[in-house]
Amino acid sequence: MNHDLSLHQRRRAPTSEELKGIPWLAQLQPAARTRAVASLLVGDALPGDFVCRVGRPVTYWFGVVEGLLKMSSDNAQGQTMTFTGVPPGGWFGEGTAMKREPYRYNIQALRKSVVAGLPIDTFHWLLDHSIAFNRFVMHQLNERLGQFIAAREIDRLNNPDVRVARSLASLFNPVLYPGVGEVLRITQQELAYLVGLSRQRVNEALMALQAQGAIRVEYGGVRVLDLAALQSSVFVRRASATEG
């Protein structure tokens, strides 16, 4: 791979194995699937590469085959606000693609990643011709709404353990990120970027969550043992009581 080329210039056709990592393809009827596969491209993103940037016109609907991306925006003071991470199996920007409007956020690779792109015209063709594709996008939009409502709640939480718990829970969403499974490949530094805490504080939170049986920290990642505990208000009260 030539590191001097931009991500756009590193576009290529996906391999058969990479196509298996695109969750909505298997739901399409043969004609729609054939058209989608013929249009799909992938790019090998390096850490720090921008997949899309604020103000740029939408040209693709993007998804993650391998790796980890972050969605963020900069405020008027130049501070970066991270909205969420996008792990394997996640597709994003369907609202922007449907409206054909400029991006309102940045998407950047946190590590080497394989990013898939469906051209915007093919995206709209599938919306017009495939009930299965419409159903997938509808579920995406519904889950995304819930995700961002939860993100607003996380921003207002003062308990770091709960912030980490809720952020991890969002990354294990089986609808938005079906490629994650039970183990999320993420480093503590990457999680710190997404949560907005120091790596040391994230480590403390992970140890607390592990002690409560909600997760198990493994080499190179985190295994979820009790997703409901990460999401529940019971956990919030327990953590708050511990904090007091």
Average pLDDT in the chain: 86
Percentages helix, strand, coil for the chain (3-state, rounded to 5) are: 45, 20, 35
What would the pLDDT profile of 141-152 be if each residue is shown by its tens digit?
988 877 776 666
Is the pLDDT score of 206 beyond 50?
A: yes
At 33-87, the pLDDT tens digits run 999 999 999 999 999 999 999 999 999 999 999 999 998 887 666 667 777 889 9
- The pLDDT tens digits of the residues spanning 115-173 come to 999 999 999 999 999 999 999 999 999 888 777 766 666 666 678 888 899 889 889 88
Q: Tell me what the mean pLDDT of segment 201-226 comes to.
A: 92
Same fold? 8-150, 158-243: no
pLDDT for res 233: 46
Q: How far is CA 3 from the centre of its chain?
A: 24
Per CATH, the number for 8-150 is 2.60.120.10
For 205-230, what is the mean pLDDT? 91
Q: Tell me how many degrees the CA angle 46-101-139 measures, rounded to the nearest 5.
A: 80
Distances in Å between the Cα of 145 and the Cα atoms of 142, 170, 180 are 5, 12, 20
pLDDT at 75: 67
How confident is the model at residue 4, as a pLDDT? 55
CATH class of 158-243: mainly alpha
Provide the residue ranges of all domains of the chain, joining segments of one domain with +: 8-150, 158-243
Which amino acid appears at position 178 of this protein?
A: P
Cα–Cα distance, 226 to 215 (Å, whole number): 7
DSSP state of 57: P
| pLDDT, position 44 | 94
Quick check: 1 pLDDT over 60? no
